[in-house]
Structure 1
Amino acid sequence: MILKTSRGTMSVTTLTLRGLMLAAALLMTLIAGRALAQTYAFNAVQIEGNQRVADSTILSFAGISRGEAISADQLNAAGQKIRDSGLFESVDVQAQGNTLAITVVEFPTINQVAVEGNRKLNDAEFLPILESQSRKIYSPATVERDVATIAGLYASKGRINASVTPRIIRQSDNRVDLVFEVEESGVTEVQRITFVGNRSFTDRRLRGVLETKQAGLLRSIITRDTYSAERINFDKQVLTDFYQSRGYADFTLQNVDVTLTRERDAYLITYNIREGQRFSFGNVSASSDLPEVNVPAYQRALTTRTGMTYSPGQVDRDIARLERLAIQQGLTFVAVEPVITRNDRDLSLNVDYKLVRGPRIFVERIDIEGNSTTLDRVVRNQFRTVEGDPFNPREIRQAADRIRALGFFTTTDVNAREGTTPEQVIIDVNVEEAPTGSLSFGANYNTDNGVGLVAAFKEANFLGRGQSLSFEISTATSNQVISFGFSEPNFLGRDLRAGVDFSYRTTDNQNADYDTENFRFAPSLTFPVSESGRLTTYTALSYDDLTGADGDNVSPFIKEEAALDAVVTGSVGYNYSFDNRRTGLDPTSGYVFRFGQEFGFGDTRFIKTTALAAAETKVLNEGVTLRATIEGGHLAYQDGFSRVTDRFFLNGNTFRGFDANGVGPRDYQTTTVDGETVTTVDDALGGNSFAVARLEAEFPLGLPEEYGITGGAFVDYGSVWDVGRTAPQGTEILYNGFTPRATAGLSIFWTTPLGPLRFNFTEPLKAEKFDQTKAFDVTISTQF
């Protein structure tokens, strides 16, 4: 049948189907509503499948009490709570009349954990840091975190493509062996570091500032050519400090772009920077509205001068000087606020140090955490502030820097928070211990002493007390050395370093016609006398003997000295040093001055004086380093005379281009053999005086800086003279007066993980007939 309506025609069949569908939907809704509205109440519980976990524990996870009316949704939620405990592989919760039926399958117990496929990293680096451990419950979530841990460890070593797959091997008694299968990838190195926006300094110079390096020849040894987010953050700060310390007050590091190559085998790092203009200091003044402040005294204390290159570090040092002066004058809660005004016309910054009344805030206490090895007092000794002192944020930041400079911790965080009252603060120090000791066995070589074997132990934080301990045994072709050193940096709880040094040295006749034996024991005290100055006082006991000088070819001069008994000498002395390379006004230059005297008594009485003055500066956009050094010494005897074991000698580090003991006074004899005159020249005798001037330049060779290879040129001029006594009968002394020598040469500096090496190629400009020269030597590179 067909019905006609205003909207068209409709068949009866169609109406019938629609009616049936509507009725079915209504029926299902009613059934579902009854199901949702259905409640359960249990007076019995049946738990199956659990072996280790008690029934009461499972019920506590479910959170269902006997007789409690719960809905179907609550029943499902109870099952999920049991699953969330992480103890069960599967959970089934059902209502069986008035009985709650819970069926579980427990996760197995881990029998053992192993890592396979790892060749670059050993098991000891993995297993202690994994959450999954033997006799613990196996958990997929825990295993996932362990996979991320292992992959992260590989990533920290530059192997970002390493993959880790966990496998379980079923054992009896519901146990499993957990195996992490590792597929190690190659190292993803830093292939290139570039800079955008740098006009004043080359990419090479800026890369030299960064801790992160490009991959180079030593990529298998150097780890700084792998990407590390922490190292990049450190480099950001270093780069900012580099520019700002050179007057670029508006320097901005806009962003660091780190990208992977398409093959994911190398990183490309780009620093986008805006240098800005270079500023100098304009007018520098001190001012205050406080009646108790003597402004002229503070003005005189300032070290910044008009025209100097602007540096935030110099401003900080002046603030620290003014704050110390205020404390010395008994003024508390006086703060120094630098007011800096710009003069863009002449690119200068005027600085007015305003002494103002600071807030009355005290240090309530200093809390130290994380130092599992280092004692609290070692960290506290780096603070100039103690509990109850006025709070000085600058001093707290400086203390944090001193703690980091110890080298005892991988991370150091120092923060201040409000104490029990608004007028008090608590200083929180959180540290993480770092390895501070080393035990090494190896070999060394230099052209003076030949090949030597070395065994050394060094500990910079002995027993967590901040003390340093070292012990070394070295045997070379021509000498043997045993040395021991110990120092306490905070003797008597003060900024006073107490040390004890012991050494025993012997030499054989590889380089001379005699043997020597020396023992020295020297306790010392070192303390600061200024911001950059240190004074060391010491006393020493030494034993010197000269033997093995009985051969036919031995100099009569040496034979006379060897015939004397061994000499035991007591002495006292001091050494003063001034080094402003870190605290100087100009970050591109610095100088060092050292002066010391030793006063001997005992078998002989003498005064031994030594001095060194050196300066260094960088030119040509800091691409070339110039160094100048003047060094000298004088030995004066009031009782007795010097022997060859006491006098000065010049070696390859002091005067390049000559063999060890290859320059200086020598004795010679003239004899007649078959009517011919024969002259015999013996070993160098050393001298009571020496003076050397060294000039050198270090410059790039155009090689990638990640190779660590630079070039140099040098000129040395000087001499050693005056043996302090007359020659034995039948001999004369050559070069006993000041007889200058001069050498020039080229150097190759190579910074390696084994140490900074220096290769010298030397040509003598002025040498005497019997000097022993050498055209090439290899040394450990030293400065000043």
Structure 2
Amino acid sequence: MAYRRGAGTSCGTAQPHGNILWRALTIFFLFAAMSFTAVPQVAQAQTYTISSFDVQGNRRIETSTIIARTGITPGQSVTAGQLNDAYQRLLDSGVFETVELTPRGNTLVIEVAEYPTINKISIEGNRRVKDDVLIQAISSQPRRVFTPQVAESDADKIAEIYSAQGRVSATVIPRIIRRSDNRVDLVFEIAEGTTIEIERVSFVGNRAYSDRRLRRVLESKQANILRTFLRGDTFIADRIEFDKQVLRDFYLSRGYVDFRINSANVEFTRERDAFYLVMNITEGQKFSFGNISTVSEIPGVDAAEYQKALKIKPGVTYSPTLIENSIARQERLGLKQGVDFLRVEPRVTRNDRDLTLDVQFVLTRGPRIFVERIDIEGNTTTLDRVIRRQFDTVEGDPFNPREIRQSAERIRALGFFSVAEVETREGSSPSQVIVDVDVQEQPTGSLALGGSYSVSDGFGIAIRLEERNFLGRGQEFGLTLSTAQDSEQYVINFAEPYLLGRKLRFDLGFGLSRTNSSFASYDTKSVFFNPQISYAIGELSSLRLRYNWNKSEMSQQDDEVNGAVIASEIAQGKRSTSSLGLAYVYDSRLGGLNPNAGVLFEVGVDAAGLGGDNKYFKTSTRAIAQTKVLNEEMTLRASFEAGALHWQGDDFSRAIDRYVLGPSTFRGFEPAGIGPRDLSNGQDDAIGGNYYWVARFESDFPLGLPEELGLRGGVFYDIGNLYNINNVDTTGANIVGADGSIRQVIGVSLLWDTPFGPLRFNFSQAVKKEDFDKEQNFDFTIQARF
């Protein structure tokens, strides 16, 4: 026990430690209590019971509308958060400049200050863009509520219009002028700034083509000495994307399948008054077509027959356009053979060793999807049928995505619409599609004023009124009035591209022409009427069936003595011609296999005698071949044309019925400067000939000058002949040159592409001619529209 007691004594002797423990527990509980008392009590959210409203400051907006906008109903208990939501709803309505909500007992006081209404809108400081254009672009309108956000947005829209014209430094500031009755005048103050030009366009990474050649591809141009008239050198940001696309198309069409544009950087010059445009490109290697084959995965379809439909051959420069055209040919063949849902899949195999691409056209069966309908929207003037006839597909036909894409391109190519979107969506079932066509029309009429000058006809002026979508029917109508120093012409033209709903083009011309040339001893007057029907018989060829009626006469010029031939022809008076003709035309310059070369061939025959006074057969032919060499810097062109007149009947032909050559046909001579002539009565009358032929060889090339000047040089060589005067009344005449002789001319040209129009200066020298020929060593022509 003692032990225990000792033990207890021992515990007793440890009393100080027990006091420490007790104190520690006391302090702990004290701190715990203080901690709980230090934590603030959670405040109960204050609520308001709203039984009535007091709306103040509103003039235009009804009180009931404002109360409804808060979302609070009488008798509702609302919290401060709900009041804040009501405040925000009123502010977001966009009609109040300030809003204040104040609960007073059971009444909610709503104080508002309404935005003013716009009394009128004014544009100040604009000289380059008319008020009407800017007003149509903005959202603010008179008698509507003014809001600063909308005004700022409108200022940005106006600035974008100026930026699209190259005035990227233009600033637009919206200001208001307070008026009575809470109205304001909205004024847009514009500082147009100066046009920012493109000082230089350069390329990095190009080897196959020079900077000069690539600059000709782009829409953006370098600044030049004609910058006052030229708009192409103005910097427009959106144009850069277009330039990148056309540059990509340029290289791809020439076989550079790996071409890419790494960057297109636009930087300010040091003076910050112009831009540098630098395009960093990678050309890659040029590829040609290798093996071309066709296989069929459709039972019963002969691949060999489809292979024959292809035009591309091994060795031809690769182009995606040629692939697309080949697919179209094979699919058209499938339609003719009744193979529905035919799809042609090109499979390309790359051969890096010999830089060729093998193409295998695989004939497969596509999904069984039909066109349910074609919906057209947005056209207010243009008739639906004008748009529908651009589709080779109609409702119920098998759906062909490629054909729909081509139809969309044809709609855009009409030029009737500023926007033409063609999209497809699922129809009433998964096996049907609906084709949606959404268009926005644009003006299609134009009034053109033109000027011209030539050594032959002198100065002239032309006025042309043209409508390309006449009455919304897709027809063309034009009225042309042209007068020159020695000639004048008045013509009415009409064209129907789809005669009787078919791909037959019908052209009709009716007019009056007069000449009073200083190069002839007689005047002429003619009334003509010439309808024509054209239709395609192949991808690059067409036939033209034409009719021509005209009544013409020759008259003596004042104080002019005529030779015997011309005098007898003037004495014939008015004579009429009624002829029917047929012409075949083949043109590969735009749609051929080579984008740098092409051929035009045309041959025709006209027979007169279906009524009228004159009877004859007239045959004509024309051929032109051209190509570009030296990285497409130089153009080589060769042309040949010939004609033969076989006069029938007992009457004599006249000079205006026979061929008379001018500088546009044979350079180096005056109009009617070569061929048979009548020297009787002391005169020197050109009387023309029944047969002629002319061959022209020419080239144009850069002169090493900055290309923005638009100057190029050229050389040419012409050779030809004009002869034969059968069925000509030669009584009392003194004829020379009837048997003809070959003439040859060499010359140089200066070509200047200006904003006024293309100018051409020809300097020539006859290498071989006759003594009686009328040489013309200089010829200058200009044509312009303004």
- Report the TM-score, using the length of structure 2 for normalisation: 0.92
Answering whether residue 60 of structure 2 is matched by residue 49 of structure 1, we say: no
Identical residues among aligned pairs (%): 48
Per-residue CA shift, 1:76-96, capped at 9, x if unaligned? 221221121111222222112
- Structure 2 stretches of 5 or more lacking a match? 1-19, 21-33
Per-residue CA shift, 1:666-724, capped at 9, x if unaligned? 10137xxxxxxxxx342211222221111111111122223322211111111222233
Correspondence for 2:25? none
Correspondence for 1:768? 770
Correspondence for 2:80? 72
Correspondence for 1:420? 428
Answering whether residue 162 of structure 2 is matched by residue 151 of structure 1, we say: no
SS of 2:679's equivalent in the other structure is: strand
Correspondence for 2:622? 612
Partners of 1:319 and 1:453 in 2: how far apart?
48
Cα deviation for residue 73 of structure 1 reads 2.0
Cα deviation for residue 770 of structure 1 reads 2.5
Per-residue CA shift, 1:404-431, capped at 9, x if unaligned? 2222233333333332322222223333
Correspondence for 1:657? 668
Correspondence for 1:578? 586
Partners of 2:694 and 2:147 in 1: how far apart?
72
SS of 2:543's equivalent in the other structure is: strand
**Partner amino acid for 1:617?**
T
Per-residue CA shift, 1:495-520, capped at 9, x if unaligned? 11112111210112533221110111
Correspondence for 2:643? 633
- Structure 1 stretches of 5 or more lacking a match? 1-5, 7-19, 671-679
Partners of 1:122 and 1:71 in 2: how far apart?
54
Cα deviation for residue 123 of structure 1 reads 1.0
**Partner amino acid for 2:711?**
I
Per-residue CA shift, 1:203-228, capped at 9, x if unaligned? 11111112222222232222222233
**Partner amino acid for 2:695?**
A
Correspondence for 1:309? 317
Partners of 1:254 and 1:185 in 2: how far apart?
32
Compared CA separation, residues 497 and 727, structure 1 to 2 (3 A)? closer
Cα deviation for residue 781 of structure 1 reads 7.7
Cα deviation for residue 367 of structure 1 reads 2.5
**Partner amino acid for 1:717?**
I
Contact 1:537 1:574 (C-alpha < 8 Å) held by counterparts: yes
SS of 2:230's equivalent in the other structure is: coil
Answering whether residue 73 of structure 2 is matched by residue 62 of structure 1, we say: no
Partners of 1:631 and 1:524 in 2: how far apart?
22
Correspondence for 1:478? 486
Choose which of 591, 595, 598 in structure 1 pairs with 2:603: 595
Compared CA separation, residues 575 and 754, structure 1 to 2 (3 A)? farther
Matched positions, count: 750
Contact 1:477 1:510 (C-alpha < 8 Å) held by counterparts: no
**Partner amino acid for 2:661?**
L
SS of 1:594's equivalent in the other structure is: strand
Choose which of 81, 92, 100 in structure 1 pairs with 2:108: 100
Correspondence for 1:645? 656
Partners of 2:72 and 2:668 in 1: how far apart?
91
Contact 1:749 1:781 (C-alpha < 8 Å) held by counterparts: no
Correspondence for 1:9? none
Greater shift after overlay, 704-713 or 604-613?
704-713
Compared CA separation, residues 494 and 374, structure 1 to 2 (3 A)? same
Compared CA separation, residues 267 and 552, structure 1 to 2 (3 A)? closer
Choose which of 493, 500, 512 in structure 2 pairs with 1:504: 512
Contact 2:453 2:782 (C-alpha < 8 Å) held by counterparts: no
Choose which of 192, 217, 239 in structure 1 pairs with 2:225: 217
Partners of 2:490 and 2:429 in 1: how far apart?
57
SS of 1:257's equivalent in the other structure is: strand
Answering whether residue 518 of structure 2 is matched by residue 516 of structure 1, we say: no
Partners of 2:132 and 2:723 in 1: how far apart?
59
Correspondence for 1:673? none
Compared CA separation, residues 780 and 323, structure 1 to 2 (3 A)? farther
SS of 2:199's equivalent in the other structure is: strand
SS of 1:458's equivalent in the other structure is: strand
SS of 2:76's equivalent in the other structure is: coil
Contact 1:365 1:425 (C-alpha < 8 Å) held by counterparts: yes
Cα deviation for residue 593 of structure 1 reads 0.7
Cα deviation for residue 780 of structure 1 reads 4.8
Compared CA separation, residues 322 and 219, structure 1 to 2 (3 A)? same
Matches for 1:192-207 after TM superposition, within 5 Å: 192-207=200-215
Matches for 1:717-736 after TM superposition, within 5 Å: 717-726=719-728, 728-736=730-738
Compared CA separation, residues 377 and 233, structure 1 to 2 (3 A)? farther
Cα deviation for residue 443 of structure 1 reads 3.1
Answering whether residue 370 of structure 2 is matched by residue 368 of structure 1, we say: no
Partners of 2:297 and 2:56 in 1: how far apart?
83
Compared CA separation, residues 550 and 451, structure 1 to 2 (3 A)? closer
Matches for 1:392-403 after TM superposition, within 5 Å: 392-403=400-411
Choose which of 395, 401, 407 in structure 1 pairs with 2:415: 407
Greater shift after overlay, 622-631 or 246-255?
246-255
Partners of 2:371 and 2:755 in 1: how far apart?
44
SS of 1:125's equivalent in the other structure is: helix
**Partner amino acid for 1:398?**
Q
Contact 2:531 2:547 (C-alpha < 8 Å) held by counterparts: yes
Partners of 1:373 and 1:699 in 2: how far apart?
46
Contact 2:452 2:782 (C-alpha < 8 Å) held by counterparts: no
Cα deviation for residue 62 of structure 1 reads 1.6
Answering whether residue 308 of structure 2 is matched by residue 300 of structure 1, we say: yes
Correspondence for 1:756? 758
Cα deviation for residue 183 of structure 1 reads 0.6
Matches for 1:687-702 after TM superposition, within 5 Å: 687-702=689-704
Correspondence for 1:686? 688
Partners of 1:663 and 1:60 in 2: how far apart?
94
Compared CA separation, residues 91 and 264, structure 1 to 2 (3 A)? farther
Partners of 1:467 and 1:33 in 2: how far apart?
81
SS of 2:90's equivalent in the other structure is: helix
Partners of 2:221 and 2:417 in 1: how far apart?
23
Cα deviation for residue 551 of structure 1 reads 4.5
Correspondence for 1:232? 240
Per-residue CA shift, 1:459-498, capped at 9, x if unaligned? 2122222111110111211111101101111111111111
Choose which of 319, 328, 345 in structure 1 pairs with 2:327: 319
SS of 1:706's equivalent in the other structure is: helix
Contact 1:478 1:511 (C-alpha < 8 Å) held by counterparts: no
Contact 1:642 1:723 (C-alpha < 8 Å) held by counterparts: no
SS of 2:186's equivalent in the other structure is: strand
Correspondence for 1:669? 680
Partners of 2:303 and 2:497 in 1: how far apart?
37
**Partner amino acid for 2:542?**
R
Answering whether residue 142 of structure 2 is matched by residue 140 of structure 1, we say: no
**Partner amino acid for 1:274?**
T
Contact 2:346 2:361 (C-alpha < 8 Å) held by counterparts: yes
Partners of 1:430 and 1:258 in 2: how far apart?
35
SS of 2:566's equivalent in the other structure is: helix
Per-residue CA shift, 1:294-330, capped at 9, x if unaligned? 2221122221212222222112111111111111111
Cα deviation for residue 728 of structure 1 reads 3.5
Partners of 2:217 and 2:782 in 1: how far apart?
22
Correspondence for 1:114? 122
Compared CA separation, residues 537 and 455, structure 1 to 2 (3 A)? same
Greater shift after overlay, 490-499 or 364-373?
364-373
Partners of 1:424 and 1:236 in 2: how far apart?
37
Correspondence for 1:739? 741
- Report the TM-score, using the length of structure 1 for normalisation: 0.92
Compared CA separation, residues 781 and 529, structure 1 to 2 (3 A)? farther
Partners of 2:228 and 2:368 in 1: how far apart?
56
